[in-house]
Amino acid sequence: MNLKTKFNRLFCLSLVLFILMGVPLQVTASVADPIKYLPVQDAGRIKPYDTFAREALELVYGKSSYKGKTAVEVVSTWMVIPDLWDKIEIVEVRHSGVREALKLEEKRIHYSPIELLNNIRIPLVMQELRSMREKGEKLNPYFQEVQRLENQLSLYQAIKMGLALRVVPQKEKDQWLAVSELTGPLRENFIQITTDFVKAIAAQNSLPPKSGIQESEDKYLGAMGSKISPSQAQNTLKKAVTDFIESARAIDPLNYGTSLAMKLEVHYNQFHPFMWAWIAYLICAILLYSSGVNKNKLLKKLGWGFLWAAFLLHIYGMGLRVYLAGRPPVSNMYETVVWVPWGCMLFALILNRWLKNQMVLIVAALVAVFCLILTDLSPTVLDDSIQPLEPVLRSTFWLSTHVLIIAISYAAFFLAFALGDWVLYLFLRDEKKYQTQISEGVLAIYRSIQIGVVLLAIGIILGGVWADYSWGRFWGWDPKETWALIALLGYIALLHARLVGWVNKFGLAAWSILSFSLVIMAWYGVNFVLGAGLHSYGFGAGGVEYVTAFVAAHLCFVGFVFTVRNSRLGKSS
Amino acid sequence: MKLKKVVKNLASLRLAVLVIVLLAIIAAVGTIYEAKYDAQMAQKLVYRSSYMYVVMGLLIVNLIAVMVDRWPWKTKHISFVLAHIGIIILLLGSYMTQKLGVDGNLALTMGGANQYVSVDGTELAIFASFDGKGLTPLYQRTVDFLINPPQKEKIVFGREPDQIEVIDYYHYAIQQSEILQSDKPNDGPALRIQLQNSRVNMSQWLKLEPGKDTSVSNLGPAKVVLTLLPYKYEGGNVLVLTPDGERWKYFVFTQSRGGLTGKGKVQEGDQISLGWMELKMTLLRSYTRAREILTYEKRNTPTQQTRSAVKIRYQGDEYWIGLNSVVKLFTSEKMYYISFAQRRIDLGFPIKLQKFNIGRYQGTMRASSYESEVLVPDLGEQKISMNEPLKYKGFTFYQASFEQDEMGKPTMSILSVNYDPGRWIKYFGSLGIVLGVIMLFYFRGLGRSTKSVGIPPITSVPKREVLNELKN
B248, B228 Cβ separation under 8 angstroms:
no
C-beta pairs of B162-165 under 8 Å, 24+ apart in sequence? B162/B315, B162/B331, B163/B314, B164/B126, B164/B312, B164/B313, B164/B314, B164/B329, B164/B336, B164/B338, B165/B312, B165/B313, B165/B314
- Confirm or reject contact between A479 and chain B (CB < 8 A): yes
Confidence label for B257 from pLDDT (cuts 50, 70 and 90): confident
Give the count of Cβ contacts less than 8 A between chain A and B.
Answer: 201
User: With an 8 Å Cβ cutoff, are B453 and A436 in contact?
Assistant: yes
- Confirm or reject contact between A473 and chain B (CB < 8 A): yes
User: With an 8 Å Cβ cutoff, are A447 and B400 in contact?
Assistant: no
- Confirm or reject contact between A140 and chain B (CB < 8 A): no
CA dihedral A321, A326, A331, A332 (to 10 degrees): -40
User: With an 8 Å Cβ cutoff, are A477 and B42 in contact?
Assistant: yes
| pLDDT higher than 70, residue B200 | yes
Contacts B438 to A, Cβ<8 Å: 454, 458
Separation of first and last alpha carbons in chain B: 30
User: With an 8 Å Cβ cutoff, are A443 and B34 in contact?
Assistant: no
User: With an 8 Å Cβ cutoff, are A532 and B427 in contact?
Assistant: no
User: With an 8 Å Cβ cutoff, are A530 and B35 in contact?
Assistant: yes
Confidence label for A392 from pLDDT (cuts 50, 70 and 90): confident
Backbone phi and psi for residue A490, each to the nearest 5 degrees, phi listed first = -55, -50
- Angstroms from B365 CA to nearest CA on chain A: 9
Cα B371 from Cα B384, distance rounded (Å): 5
Cis peptide before A123 (omega within 30 of 0): no
User: With an 8 Å Cβ cutoff, are A496 and B396 in contact?
Assistant: no
Query: Mutating which of B437, B448, B459, B461 best tests the A interface, going by the most A Cβ atoms within 10 A?
Result: B437
- Confirm or reject contact between A176 and chain B (CB < 8 A): yes
Backbone phi and psi for residue B252, each to the nearest 5 degrees, phi listed first = -110, 125
For the beta sheet containing B201-207, the strands, ordered from the edge strand earlier in sequence to the opposite edge, are: B201-207, B190-196, B280-287, B271-273
**Size (chain A), residues:** 573
Distance of CA B295 to the CA centre of its chain: 20
Look at residues B212, B208, B216 and name the one whose alpha carbon lies nearest to residue B190. Answer: B208
Collapsed DSSP state (helix, strand, coil) of residue B191: strand
Widest CA span in chain B: 103
- Angstroms from A500 CA to nearest CA on chain B: 6
User: With an 8 Å Cβ cutoff, are A457 and B433 in contact?
Assistant: yes
| pLDDT higher than 50, residue A2 | yes
Look at residues B69, B64, B68 and name the one whose alpha carbon lies nearest to residue B84. Answer: B64
Q: Quick one: how many helices (H) and strands (E) in chain B? A: 8, 24
Cα B288 from Cα B165, distance rounded (Å): 34
Confidence label for B168 from pLDDT (cuts 50, 70 and 90): very high
What stretches of B269-360 adopt beta strand conformation (E)? 271-273, 280-287, 290-298, 307-314, 317-322, 325-330, 335-360
Cα A531 from Cα A538, distance rounded (Å): 9
Confidence label for A405 from pLDDT (cuts 50, 70 and 90): very high
Q: Give CA separation, A254 vs A169, A171, A251, A257, A258, in Å.
A: 11, 11, 9, 8, 9
Q: Give CA separation, B113 vs A180, A541, B109, B117, B380, in Å.
A: 46, 41, 7, 12, 14
Collapsed DSSP state (helix, strand, coil) of residue B429: helix
- Confirm or reject contact between A172 and chain B (CB < 8 A): no
CA dihedral A244, A250, A254, A259 (to 10 degrees): 30
User: Which sign, positive or negative, has the C-alpha torsion A453, A458, A459, A461?
Assistant: positive
User: With an 8 Å Cβ cutoff, are A439 and B461 in contact?
Assistant: no
Q: How high is the pLDDT of residue B449?
A: 39
Reported as type and span, the H/E element at residue B142 is: strand B136-143
- Among A3-7, B354-358, B437-441, whose mean pLDDT is lowest? A3-7
Q: Across residues B325-335, what is the average pLDDT?
A: 83
B370, B353 Cβ separation under 8 angstroms:
no
- Confirm or reject contact between A559 and chain B (CB < 8 A): no
| pLDDT higher than 50, residue A1 | no
| pLDDT higher than 60, residue A225 | no
Backbone phi and psi for residue A108, each to the nearest 5 degrees, phi listed first = -95, 160
Collapsed DSSP state (helix, strand, coil) of residue B432: helix
- Confirm or reject contact between A355 and chain B (CB < 8 A): yes
Cα A295 from Cα A399, distance rounded (Å): 45
Which amino acid belongs to residue B408? G
Distance of CA B140 to the CA centre of its chain: 21
Look at residues A383, A415, A338 and name the one whose alpha carbon lies nearest to residue A543. Answer: A383
Contacts A490 to B, Cβ<8 Å: 24
Write the residue in A137, A255, A355 that is nearest to B303 by C-beta: A137
> Which residue did the predictor score with more confidence, B458 or B243?
B243
**For the segment B73-122, what is each residue's pLDDT rounded down to a tens digit?**
888 888 889 999 999 999 999 999 999 999 999 999 999 999 999 998 99
**For the segment A276-309, what is each residue's pLDDT rounded down to a tens digit?**
999 999 999 999 998 888 788 899 999 999 999 9
Point out which residues pair with B191 in neighbouring strands.
Answer: B206, B286
Task: Please provide the average confidence, as pLDDT, over all residues in chain B.
Answer: 86
Domain ranges of chain A: 33-258, 327-572
Reported as type and span, the H/E element at residue B468 is: helix B463-471
> Which residue did the predictor score with more confidence, A80 or A540?
A80
| pLDDT higher than 70, residue A358 | yes
B301, B159 Cβ separation under 8 angstroms:
no
Distance of CA A148 to the CA centre of its chain: 19
Collapsed DSSP state (helix, strand, coil) of residue A419: helix
Write the residue in A391, A453, A532 that is nearest to B441 by C-beta: A453
Reported ipTM = 0.88
Q: Give CA separation, A5 vs A289, A363, A405, B163, in Å.
A: 13, 22, 43, 95
Which chain B residue's Cα is nearest to A461?
B430
Confidence label for B472 from pLDDT (cuts 50, 70 and 90): very low
Confidence label for B464 from pLDDT (cuts 50, 70 and 90): very low
Query: Mutating which of A355, A448, A458, A496 best tests the B interface, going by the most B Cβ atoms within 10 A?
Result: A496
pTM of the model: 0.87
Cα B352 from Cα A137, distance rounded (Å): 34
Chain A (252-271) residues lying within 8 Å, Cβ to Cβ, of chain B: 255
> Which residue did the predictor score with more confidence, A51 or A31?
A51
- Confirm or reject contact between A100 and chain B (CB < 8 A): no
Transcribe A96-148 into DSSP letters: HHHHHHTT--TT-SEE-HHHHHT-TTHHHHHHHHHHHHHHTPPPPHHHHHHHH
- Cβ partners under 8 Å of residue B97, min gap 6: A474, B420, B421, B422, B423, B426
User: With an 8 Å Cβ cutoff, are B364 and A388 in contact?
Assistant: yes
> What one-character DSSP code corresponds to residue B462?
-
- Cβ partners under 8 Å of residue A433, min gap 6: none
Contacts B398 to A, Cβ<8 Å: 470-472
Transcribe A295-332 into DSSP letters: T-HHHHHHHHHHHHHHHHHHHHHHHHHHHHHTS-S-SS
At CA A360, angle to CA A359 and CA A366, rounded to 5? Answer: 90
Q: Across residues B35-47, what is the average pLDDT?
A: 90
| pLDDT higher than 50, residue B450 | no
At CA B177, angle to CA B172 and CA B178, rounded to 5? Answer: 135
Look at residues B104, B100, B140, B141 and name the one whose alpha carbon lies nearest to residue B119. Answer: B104
Look at residues A106, A147, A109 and name the one whose alpha carbon lies nearest to residue A130. Answer: A147
| pLDDT higher than 80, residue A25 | no
Q: How high is the pLDDT of residue A3?
A: 56
B167, B150 Cβ separation under 8 angstroms:
yes
**Ramachandran bin of A445, using left for φ above 0, alpha for ψ from -120 to 50, beta for the remaining angles:** alpha
Cα B201 from Cα B196, distance rounded (Å): 4
Q: How high is the pLDDT of residue B130?
A: 83
Contacts B468 to A, Cβ<8 Å: 500-501
Task: Please provide the average confidence, as pLDDT, over all residues in chain A.
Answer: 87
A192, A240 Cβ separation under 8 angstroms:
yes
Q: How high is the pLDDT of residue A18?
A: 67
User: With an 8 Å Cβ cutoff, are A474 and B455 in contact?
Assistant: no
| pLDDT higher than 90, residue A11 | no
Query: Mutating which of B362, B398, B406 best tests the A interface, going by the most A Cβ atoms within 10 A?
Result: B362
- Angstroms from A25 CA to nearest CA on chain B: 36
Write the residue in A443, A473, A531 that is nearest to B453 by C-beta: A443
Cα A386 from Cα B292, distance rounded (Å): 51
- Angstroms from B259 CA to nearest CA on chain A: 31
Strands B259-266 and B395-404: unpaired
User: With an 8 Å Cβ cutoff, are A496 and B20 in contact?
Assistant: yes
Write the residue in B35, B47, B453 that is nearest to A477 by C-beta: B47
User: With an 8 Å Cβ cutoff, are A439 and B445 in contact?
Assistant: no
Cα B379 from Cα B262, distance rounded (Å): 64
Distance of CA A14 to the CA centre of its chain: 29
Burial zone of B134 (CB within 10 Å; 0-12 exposed, 13-18 middle, 19+ buried): exposed
| pLDDT higher than 90, residue B457 | no
Which chain B residue's Cα is nearest to A399?
B387
Collapsed DSSP state (helix, strand, coil) of residue B357: strand
Cα B232 from Cα B133, distance rounded (Å): 40
Cα A544 from Cα A521, distance rounded (Å): 11
Contacts A444 to B, Cβ<8 Å: none
Q: Tell me the Cα Rg of chain A.
A: 27
Contacts A497 to B, Cβ<8 Å: 13, 17
A452, A401 Cβ separation under 8 angstroms:
no
- Among A103-107, A237-241, B33-37, B296-300, whose mean pLDDT is lowest? A103-107
Contacts B197 to A, Cβ<8 Å: none
Which chain B residue's Cα is nearest to A43?
B364
User: With an 8 Å Cβ cutoff, are A446 and B455 in contact?
Assistant: yes
